[in-house]
Amino acid sequence: MKELLKFNREEYRNSASEIIKARAVAEEIADKISKEGYENIFFSAVGGSLAPMMAVGEFAKELTDLPVYIEQAAELIISNNKRLNEKSVLITLSKSGDTKETVAIAKHCKEKGIRVISCTGNPESPLAKASTYVVPMKHKKGVEYEYMLLYWLFFRFLHNRGDFDKYDEFAKGLENIPQNLEKIKESFDPKAKEIASKHFDAPIQYWIGSREMWGEVYLFSMCILEEMQWIKTKSVTSPEFFHGTLELIDKDTSVFLVKSESKSRDLDERCQKFLEKYTDKLVIIDTQEYALNNFPKEFRWIVAPLICSTCLVDRLAAHFESYTGHNLDYRRYYRQFDY
């Protein structure tokens, strides 16, 4: 088996087992609340933890008429949202369990008698203590594992409402995703190295994607490239690209287009057609290039963000680090002092 830059295979596999063990916990919580009844679901977090929730919000639009709201935690707490009430369910996510804004919204809701489900790594954390239910999120690294927990939770809710018939097949298939992602990491790795070598010193990177892939575009550009590499980025959705950002493109502009596997692919391909003409520095990230074994084909579009995440947040970030020489763990401001 190939050694990959900064990839700890054993740790990744152990993380998979930990997450798969939590599936039953997530499902039990969804079943209990489904029996009790609820009127809407709020997903709330900050930064990178919002990204998987953004994808869930897009699936919700197509699959259910249940109102599902995705809210930045700090904004939700100050906004006095009228739809957030005792009949709501709040789902939060923070690996460390000490993210200030996320702990605050959980506390705020629990005090108001709103059921709070938190995905978090530490059962003793402030977030866990402020929650009604905790889904243990005990992986070491990998945003894909955060998606998996949220999916088991959310799609189980939908299944219980009659909005997602093939839940069992989907949920079982999800357990096979980590093995698939290991192989995908291997295939993508040389491409990641090549991309990093060509673009690590670009004055700015443009990142584009749409709907269920947007969270990954948002996360990678802001929480990885900006925060951990101090690389300038601008991210924009594929359809909105044509309402401003397009004018900045010239032959020498580094542009990254993340293609969706859903109907949004048309929106991405409209960008691709334009970009292929006007820049020589276009990079396409297309999850469709990678096979998934033991996973139902009809749900590929739902796990595409996980494939994208493993390629970018794991592989591409590692290779950017090796070219820029900027340690991914170094911060000058973030969590260095109070602000």
Where do contacts with a copy of itself occur on this chain (CB under 8 A)?
A: 46-48, 50, 58, 61-65, 67, 72-75, 78-83, 101, 203-204, 210-211, 222-224, 226-228, 230, 232-234, 236-237, 239-240, 242-249, 263-264, 266-267, 270, 273-274, 278, 331-334, 339
User: Residue 334 Cβ, how far from a copy of itself at the closest point, in Å?
Assistant: 6
Residue with tokens 């295939």: 187
Which of 272, 310 has the CB closer to a copy of itself? 272
**Phi, psi dihedrals of residue 283, rounded to the nearest 5°:** -115, 125
Ramachandran angles phi, psi of 134, nearest 5°: -125, 130
What's the min distance (Å) between Cβ of 31 and a copy of itself? 23
Distance in Å, CB of 279 to a copy of itself, minimum: 12
For Cα atoms 102, 52, 120, give the angle at the middle one, nearest 5 degrees: 45
Closest CB 282 distance from a copy of itself, rounded Å: 14
CB closer to a copy of itself, 161 vs 191: 161
User: Whole-number minimum distance, CB 82 to a copy of itself, in Å?
Assistant: 5
Rounded to an integer, what distance in angstroms lies between the CA atom of residue 213 and that of residue 210? 5
Please identify, using beta-carbon distances, which residue of 6 and 232 lies nearer to a copy of itself.
232
Tokens matching residue 211: 């709907």
Q: For residue 113, give the 3-state DSSP assignment.
A: coil
Residues 6+ apart with CB under 8 A from 49: 93, 94, 95, 99, 102, 146
Q: Which of 244, 316, 255 is closest to 280 using CA atoms?
A: 255
Residue 53 and residue 150 in contact, taking contact as beta carbons nearer than 8 Å? yes
Task: Give me 199's structure tokens.
Answer: 């673009």
Residue number with CB closer to a copy of itself (9 or 61): 61
Of 18 and 227, CB closest to a copy of itself? 227
Q: How far is the CB of 213 from a copy of itself (least distance, A)?
A: 12
Strands 205-209 and 133-136, how do they pair? unpaired
Measured from the CB atom, the residue of 145 and 220 that comes closer to a copy of itself is 220
